[in-house]
């Protein structure tokens, strides 16, 4: 047997009730994949699964906190028991707790690390040996441009996303020997709830959802459905770092080639944030 792209494949998606996870689930189902939607927002995940079923797709929803490894393992095992395979594991769940480092409480660090990093390692632990035994599979971890370029005023988020991008690149080398693929999604500005804090995250102090919307509007966020389509096209091609929108690749290379240029630009961006929070 081999990896299926995407017809008659099986995929588990964490954080599937909204944003990128939701869009991936809908697009995967449209392409013929059986989709398992795992999320803390269970009712919302169920409603999306119902829409997929009504459109002739295959899907079911399960309640999940990605910090709960045993529960995640049960979901992966159930997917394999029901379909006989696991082609894709999308470790997508994530939160953003924004703010300056001086504003963080210990719980902010712990929560961000638990969800954004440990949620990914739990997903890998739940599926990797199974994929190795199969001889195929594709692990797709949602990192961020903030995991390739440091994001001031999003320090905890950036730290965890750098860890996810580094983990993904290191695991890709090891996994390829076993026939397993690994990619990292590195979205720039995408039209998702995280731009205004999300359900479980938080904007920096002094920034309202309206201010955040205006701030991100200048970066022309990509529609999330468009992101999902292009991301899955690149997953199919086994691209290691999937940077979307494409124009963000230029910024990544500027950072890699000229740290001083990026640093000066980052200070200007931080000044914009401080103005929004009415701090100097």
Q: Which are the catalytic amino acids?
A: 157
- The residues near 16 (Cβ < 8 Å, ≥ 6 apart) are 22, 24, 25, 35, 36, 37, 38, 39, 45, 48, 61, 90, 92
Query: Exposed, middle or buried, 86 (CB in 10 Å: 0-12/13-18/19+)?
Result: buried
Edge-to-edge strand ranges of the sheet holding 34-39: 58-63, 34-39, 10-14, 88-91, 138-142, 181-187, 241-244
Residue 35 belongs to what H/E stretch? strand 34-39
Rounded Cα–Cα distance for residues 159 and 157 (Å): 5
DSSP classification of residue 238: T
Query: Exposed, middle or buried, 140 (CB in 10 Å: 0-12/13-18/19+)?
Result: buried
- The answer to whether 143 and 165 have CB atoms below 8 angstroms apart is yes
Asked if the bond preceding 204 is cis, omega within 30° of 0, the reply is: no
- The answer to whether 35 and 43 have CB atoms below 8 angstroms apart is no
């Amino acid at each position: 047997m081999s990896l299926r792209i995407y017809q008659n494949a099986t995929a588990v998606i964490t954080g599937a009730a909204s944003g990128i996870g939701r869009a991936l689930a809908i697009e995967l189902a449209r392409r013929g994949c059986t989709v398992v939607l795992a999320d803390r927002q269970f009712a919302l995940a169920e409603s999306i699964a119902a829409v997929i079923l009504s459109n002739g797709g295959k899907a079911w929803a399960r309640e999940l906190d990605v910090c709960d490894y045993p529960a995640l393992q049960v979901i992966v095992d159930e997917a394999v028991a029901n379909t006989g395979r696991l082609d894709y594991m999308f470790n997508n769940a994530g939160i953003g707790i924004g703010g300056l480092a001086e504003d963080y409480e210990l719980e902010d660090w712990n929560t961000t690390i638990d969800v954004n990093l440990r949620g990914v390692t739990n997903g890998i632990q739940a599926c990797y040996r199974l994929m190795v035994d199969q001889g195929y599979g594709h692990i797709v971890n949602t990192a961020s441009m903030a995991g390739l370029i440091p994001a001031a005023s999003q320090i905890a988020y950036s730290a965890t996303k750098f860890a996810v991008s580094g983990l993904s690149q290191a695991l890709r080398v090891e996994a390829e020997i076993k026939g397993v693929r690994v990619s990292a999604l590195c979205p720039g500005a995408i039209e998702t709830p995280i731009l205004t804090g999300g359900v479980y995250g938080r904007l920096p102090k002094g920034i309202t959802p309206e201010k955040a919307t205006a701030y991100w509007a200048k970066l022309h966020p990509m529609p999330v459905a468009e992101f999902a389509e292009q991301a899955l096209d690149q997953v199919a091609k086994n691209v290691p770092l999937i940077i979307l929108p494409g124009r963000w690749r230029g910024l990544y290379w500027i950072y890699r080639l000229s740290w001083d240029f990026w640093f000066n630009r980052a200070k200007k961006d931080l000044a914009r944030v401080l103005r929004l929070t009415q701090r100097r």
